[in-house]
Structure 1
């Protein structure tokens, strides 16, 4: 460490501290909202550590003294100010069908599942079907319980104080590793594991925040806010209105107290989504655009972490505009989000899976909101689902495809898309209210004979008659 500091090799400093903290590159990447290969580039010097925002997050999450990176205690540095973000709502040409991204950034989970999902995917321009899905995986017939309901119940007990894990204050590295595990569970749609890990992480982070002070407390608050952000996103998926609002409010409060602009922006985005689901579409759009503008102004950087959050906020605003029936505003906002996505070289910055393909997923959802199933399918055909960087994004893709085919009246295609979602993310598919609604409609269809295994599938998603 002494030699690395003397040589000005900041990447080596990061690597040594990471190893001392017991973190893998993937775990540190999850904490810093970037990929494992991005961490590798920083550590080897392939990508110089000159960005102040990145240095500040390394200081916070690895508990490195700011002076090691040439930062003052308040985070200021002598680095020249980087270029500002692209202007909000400035329309740019966009190729939503591009899948030109670095597949190596997707991580080990994508590699392990690629062979399976390649058999389910469709080539660009082909009909979206999943013909090889009729044989259930071993154990599906015996699947019992509802992992989503289990997760909601555990979180509800924690929020209301009716049952709370007995934990003590822990060190920042322990919290960091726990958050990295929870993020991995979220992106892999492991609901049962989240039900075990997430309440313990939140309880431990809250206890640690209560006993810490100074920079340690700020770092712990940032980790707590991220834990609540994961919780809020899960509850939004599971359509749990009352607890998700509590979680979203706690995330924003902790993020504000931590001073972490990125975590605060994500907490704000979740509140925008909650506002939209409450039917206040115009207000949700305004909140998201304003948050994107504040992030661009305060960050003043093209750092991939900020660009990803900026793009996610604009995507959320674009979908909200579509829900409000404003097609022109939706297209304009999503085009701007795509412009931000083209400046990002990998697909899972800020652990939210944002990229050009991610904007295309929002275009699919927006077309559905506007009642245009044909356009939704056309956008979906430009995405190769097996190349989406997280299982959670793959499941969202297939569920939206199912919704589009249902709207279009194509029953068999809808069912095949639901089965593809189940193959990609069983626990997610079994737990989502939208899947249950679609399955109920399939059960009432007059052509059940063309849907082999529909009754068994319905039992797995808890809609059997």
Structure 2
């Protein structure tokens, strides 16, 4: 790896660790977002002034980059043997919660790393992969998407590093329209990586979403850009930035809503649902209700009240059943779970197109009943989730819910065995 690419990798790692977008960093140092992207890719050498501003904004001393002073940028070289150490130092400092410690060379590395650690590897120590045909890449991506929608997250985590490496190698080997299509495949692979990290409540979701959006923008495909914006907004919400997340989702939805094709308008509808839930989590009731009303109107305008499994979106769907599912989460987040009961009753789980969505129904119902103080129904919803997607109940949020049931004053039959099965006790 060249010196400029190593420098770019270090800057990207530090930026993502601080949860900044390329546009935010560029604004602080007088560069555009695309220029920062080129710096991070090693294609553009920053000026002395820009480098000083970048390191100042990121609180990253030049010495940490292997550069003794600004003027040495053109001459200094980070030795190869120091490169891996530099990346590990940045990852450990900024992304410890994401499982970056699995990158160490201690005996713990011999154990199978979790999905978050494998995503970290794909981000900063990507697998060396050979380019493949665009057709084969799309087939591999479709297979990975199937792992997500059937809630086989462990298998998806195993396959993602290879998929990401292959996608990026294929993109580099192509040009013109084929390269744009490969950009879209890269973006969707990073969308899957972000979705997986979000399931684990891992901070690695932030840099993964950043990669997804950068590739999506390069693809020029507004649908893919909408998919990437959605997962980035979720990471923003999880990071305590719900207002900015809602703004991003609104703007992206508006840009897609006027499109003539059904898929673009369906993506816009899902973005409005995500924005509504984000507003609800921020206790902005008026915004949440308005956004859900807008999402409902958007779904009603789609053929057959939604984009059905025959023409799927990438990781979600825009249907009346999906809308009802979001209403459960919105009301629970706003502190009115009793209003979510009506929407839960409208859903026939079999109407939801994938195991992942059916598991989301079980999860949202469990949270709803938990907030209503009904432990028996909470446990029934958790059991349903286990039946449709066994890996889902091992997620941190559901393990916490199981722990609440386990240590509740009134025991519910079967909870202790369930807790043992899911690793809570």
Q: Does the TM-score normalized on the shorter chain lie above 0.5?
A: yes
Query: Does the alignment pair 1:248 with 2:209?
Result: yes
Name the structure 2 match of 1:276: 237
Alignment of 1:76-95 (within 5 A): none
Out of 320, 324, 340, the residue aligned to residue 356 of structure 1 is 320
Residue aligned with 1:447, SS: coil
2: CA distance, partners of 1:429 / 1:324 = 25
Map 1:165-314 → 2, pairs under 5 A = 165-241=127-203, 243-297=204-258, 300-301=259-260, 303-314=261-272
| Pairwise CA distance, 1:152 | 2.1
Alpha-carbon contact 2:127-2:162 (below 8 Å) kept: yes
Q: CA RMSD in A?
A: 1.6
Residues of 2 paired with 1:415 and 1:390: CA distance?
Answer: 22
Aligned to 2:296, which of 338, 342, 354?
A: 338
Task: Say whether residues 1:406 and 2:370 are aligned partners.
Answer: yes
CA drift of 1:167 comes to 2.2
TM-score (norm 2): 0.70
Local SS of the residue matching 1:295: helix
1:321 Cα deviation from its structure 2 partner: 1.8
CA shift for structure 1 position 441? 0.6
The counterpart of 2:331, out of the listed 357, 361, 367, is 367
- Residue equivalent to 2:54: none
Shift of 1:374: 0.8
Q: 2: distance between equivalents of 1:167 and 1:344?
A: 41
Alpha-carbon distance between aligned partners in 1 of 2:335 and 2:372, rounded to the nearest angstrom: 10
- Contact 1:415–1:451 (Cα < 8 Å) also in 2: no
CA drift at 1:239: 0.5
Residue 236 of structure 1 deviates from its aligned partner by: 1.4
RCO higher in structure (CA 8 A, sep ≥6): 1
Per-residue deviation, residues 122-149 of structure 1 (Å, max 9, x unmatched): xxxxxxxxxxxxxxxxxxxxxxxxxx97
- 2:354 aligned with 1:396: no
* More helix, by proportion: 2
Distance (whole Å) between structure 2 residues aligned to residue 233 and residue 216 of structure 1: 26
Unaligned runs of 5+ in 2: 1-111
Match of 1:87 in 2: none
Deviation at 1:354, TM superposition (A): 2.0
Indicate conservation of the 8 Å contact 1:338/1:355, yes or no.
no
Q: Secondary structure at the match of 1:350?
A: coil
CA distance in structure 1 between the partners assigned to 2:351 and 2:223 by the alignment:
26
Q: Which runs of 5+ in 1 are unaligned?
A: 1-147
Separation in 2, partners of 1:265, 1:396: 21
Equivalent pair of 2:157/2:196 in contact (CA under 8 Å): no
Q: Report how far residue 165 of structure 1 moved.
A: 3.5
Partners of 2:273 and 2:153 in 1: how far apart? 26
- Per-residue deviation, residues 436-460 of structure 1 (Å, max 9, x unmatched): 1101111111222x322x2232123
Paired residue secondary structure (2:358)? helix
2-side partners of 1:176 and 1:443: how far apart?
A: 44
Contact 2:256 2:265 in 1 (8 A): no
**Secondary structure in structure 1 of the residue aligned to 2:114:** helix
1:276 CA drift (Å): 1.2
CA distance in 1, matches of 2:347, 2:327: 11
Deviations 1:323-373 (A, max 9, x none): 222222212211111122121434332132221111111111110111112
Is contact 2:321–2:351 with CA below 8 Å preserved after alignment?
no
Q: Distance in 1 between matches of 2:284 and 2:256?
A: 24
Deviates more, 1:324-333 or 1:390-399: 324-333
Alignment partner of 1:416 is 2:392: no
Distance 2:321 2:256 in 1: 22
Q: Which residue of 2 aligns with 1:130?
A: none
> Following TM superposition, by how much is the alpha carbon of 1:209 offset from its aligned partner in structure 2, in angstroms?
1.2
Q: CA deviation digits over 1:80-120, x for unaligned, max 9?
A: xxxxxxxxxxxxxxxxxxxxxxxxxxxxxxxxxxxxxxxxx
Distance 2:325 2:145 in 1: 21
Cα distance in structure 2, aligned partners of 1:393 and 1:216: 32
> Do 1:151 and 1:195's aligned partners in 2 also have CA atoms closer than 8 Å?
yes
Cα deviation code 1:186-236 (max 9, x no counterpart):
100011220222211111001111222222211111111011111112211
Question: C-alpha distance in 2, partners of 1:158/1:344?
Answer: 39
Task: For 1:272 and 1:186, locate their aligned partners in 2 and report how far apart those are by CA, in whole Å.
Answer: 19
Aligned length: 308
